[in-house]
Structure 1
Amino acid sequence: MKRLAVAALLAFQLAGCATHSPRCPLLPEPPARPTAQQLDAYTAQLVRLYGQCAGGTP
């Protein structure tokens, strides 16, 4: 389920932020063979970056 959420976030990130490159940082590399905590932290980081790209506050 978390993998699906990460894949969806990546798709939204690429679709929504690719056109707004000045505000959007590059996507971080996902950890290789992540633990549950690492995957949660990576997902939270993607959500935070997507929010910044969409014009939200950090």
Structure 2
Amino acid sequence: MGQAAIAASPRRDLGTHYGGLFLEVIQYAEDCANLMIKKGWMEQPPLAPDYKALANRVKK
């Protein structure tokens, strides 16, 4: 959607501004991910349940 707005705009400097903003957002996301790893909030992504083990589990 942003690309269409840049293409339709008569201003030539918007692409540069969006590019710079994009780089800032990427750096911010990396900083947040590093902080989450440091705090132990993002050690391992969630795993899917082991459906075979669940199916073979004996019901009480």
TM-score range, shorter chain: 0.3 to 0.5
TM-score (ref. length: structure 2)? 0.38
TM-score (ref. length: structure 1)? 0.39
Higher relative contact order (CA 8 A, sep 6+): 1
